[in-house]
Amino acid sequence: MPLEHCARHHSDLGFRAMLQIPRGDERRQNLIGGQWVAPSTEKYEPCLNPADTREVLGHFPRSGAADAKAAVDAAAKAFAGWAATPPPERGRVLGRAHALLKGKVDLLAEALCREEGKVFGEARGEILKGLNLLEYYAGEGFRTHGKTLPSEARSTLTMTLRQPVGPVALITPWNFPFAIPVWKTAPALVAGCTAVLKPASLTPVCTHLFAEALIEAGLPPGVLNIVTGAGGSVGDALVDDPRIRAISFTGSNEVGLRLYQRAAGRGVKVTLEMGGKNPVVVLDDADLDLAAEGILQGAFGSTGQRCTATSRVVATPAIVPKLTEALVEKARKIRVGNGMSKDVQMGPAVDQSQLETDLEAIAAARSEGARLLCGGERLSSEEHRNGFFCAPTVFDEVEPGTRLARDEVFGPVLAIQSARDFEEALALANDVQYGLTASIYTRDFFAALRFVEKAEVGMVHVNQPTVGGEAQLPFGGIKATGVGEKEMAEEGANFFTHLKTVWLDYTGARRTTNIY
């Protein structure tokens, strides 16, 4: 069906009226073949506000393998038509969705705040980042390209073409419920793939609102399908389906590596973005206030629930005492609560399980000899009693090799380590299995460049926090953090394509040149 006949052509005002945050007992369904379909299991689970679990944001399907299969059926059926759609037209669909969502930033931010717990300002920032990504990939439809290269043979034109790999599976985490679904879905669609998206069961609301915008923008039925449910049923069914030709996953190392092993058994492209234990190195010549503010932003922004969060500070001797004092003083003043309250600076853990993980990491750090400087407890006042709140926590005297020095916590817990000099600080920064992001605060140009060169990470910051990313720049890590292509930027779209090499001989004669 031509795309111009798929768009509903509702006014922007009509879309504004349609897009709503689900509430209470409202049941949402899976998106399969352009229709909202009840799960075959007939089971649903509530989406709870982690700041106040008395608030329910609708009920979402607890789907099973049969639902995943139906979604792949729809994606496979839609693939030929979508792949044949010119890339600029595929990009225009994303552009129309961007235009629709741009007028709904505050509503989307509220939905994100209520389902995941980020404070409203952070939630709004995530929505804007997602919209930047959507806008970027809308333009990628005009930039999709291979290469024209010289041939060893006379009168022969050689080139490469990028073509979509086929139906793909996109598995996203709970901590960025708008931005990550966008940064996986948009490049897959503009590349010409059809997709089955499995959002995290804890945070499905923003994904559904994003899908509504794509439908309104004219996305043909079956091009994007959404199935919610447990990874052990839905996720495994997607990974094992022979029609799925690429898998993009963000989540834990345990789940990601198991997925990778299963997919490798049938030769499927996989990209994994997993854990991080991100250091900030602070040298004696650093701007103390700038470093302290950046560290707090990286450590306690989004409640520390992001793969790029600052979890370690490695500082040299002259600055350690003042930096530690500044960090503890500022951490104690962080206002923790419901992210919809204007004065709140940090929200809750996403659920009881994550809160328990945070508290277990704190207990382990104390048992291994780290010194607790502030926080370290669940908040239980009247304001906090119905949510999953952990106090901002800072430790020092954290020894190399201990759990707090090496393992990802994914919560508001910061470890401070001391180093004799730059070389030891660099060694400590690299002394973990992960390699996502790192930062250094210094006025020494040479030290900064050496850190950029030697830090064993996929992304390096100088005099700014470890967090963040931009649509046009590749995102991802090395070592145990990442497998496969980087995400975002041109690389994000390239993952969903394969390269075809072409020879065009215009001699009109039998080729005699030996090019093996």
Dihedral sign (CA 216, 219, 220, 225): negative
Is residue 130 domain-shared with residue 212, that is, in the same domain?
yes
Indicate whether 12 belongs to any domain: no
Indicate whether 383 belongs to any domain: yes
Q: Between helices 105-116 and 205-216, what is the axis angle to 10°?
A: 150
pLDDT at 3: 53
Model pTM?
Answer: 0.95
Q: In the structure encoding, which two tokens stand for residue 5, read together?
A: 């006949």
Indicate whether 166 belongs to any domain: yes
Indicate whether 213 belongs to any domain: yes
Indicate whether 72 belongs to any domain: yes
Place of tokens 């209470």: 24
Indicate whether 1 belongs to any domain: no
CATH number at residue 413: 3.40.309.10
pLDDT at 230: 85
Is residue 283 domain-shared with residue 401, that is, in the same domain?
yes
pLDDT at 117: 98
Q: Are strands 168-171 and 35-37 parallel, antiparallel or unpaired?
A: unpaired
User: Who's near 318: CB < 8 A, 6+ residues apart?
Assistant: 284
Q: Are 272 and 208 in contact (CB under 8 A)?
A: no
CATH number at residue 262: 3.40.605.10
pLDDT at 5: 42
Is residue 219 domain-shared with residue 309, that is, in the same domain?
no
- Exactly one of 273, 408, 485, 487 is catalytic; name it: 273
- Exactly one of 47, 193, 206, 307 is catalytic; name it: 307
Is residue 270 domain-shared with residue 309, that is, in the same domain?
no
- What tens-digit pLDDT sequence spans the chain (516 residues)? 445 444 444 445 455 547 899 999 999 999 999 999 999 999 999 999 999 999 999 999 999 999 999 999 999 999 999 999 999 999 999 999 999 999 999 999 999 999 999 999 999 999 999 999 999 999 999 999 999 999 999 999 999 999 999 999 999 999 999 999 999 999 999 999 999 999 999 999 999 999 999 999 999 999 999 999 988 899 999 999 999 999 999 999 999 999 999 999 999 999 999 999 999 999 999 999 999 999 999 999 999 999 999 999 999 999 999 999 999 999 999 999 999 999 999 999 999 999 999 999 999 999 999 999 999 999 999 999 999 999 999 999 999 999 999 999 999 999 999 999 999 999 999 999 999 999 999 999 999 999 999 999 999 999 999 999 999 999 999 999 999 999 999 999 999 999 999 999 999 998 877 766
Which candidate, 414, 352, 435, places its Cα nearest to that of 389?
A: 352
Q: In the structure encoding, which two tokens stand for residue 288, read together?
A: 């103390």
Residues spanned by the domain of 418: 278-462
- Distance of CA 187 to CAs 183, 211, 283, Å? 7, 15, 39
Dump the DSSP string for 294-310: HHHHHHHGGGG-STT-E
Core vs surface per residue 26-40: b (16+ CB within 10 A) or e: eebbbbbbbeebebb
| Amino acid at the residue 389 | F
> Is 273 among the catalytic positions?
yes
pLDDT at 10: 43
Is residue 405 domain-shared with residue 485, that is, in the same domain?
no
pLDDT at 11: 44
Q: What residue spans of 103-140 are helical by DSSP H?
A: 105-116, 120-140
pLDDT at 14: 52
Element of type H or E holding 323: helix 320-332
Q: Are strands 269-273 and 246-250 parallel, antiparallel or unpaired?
A: parallel
| Amino acid at the residue 399 | E
Indicate whether 76 belongs to any domain: yes
Is residue 150 domain-shared with residue 291, that is, in the same domain?
no
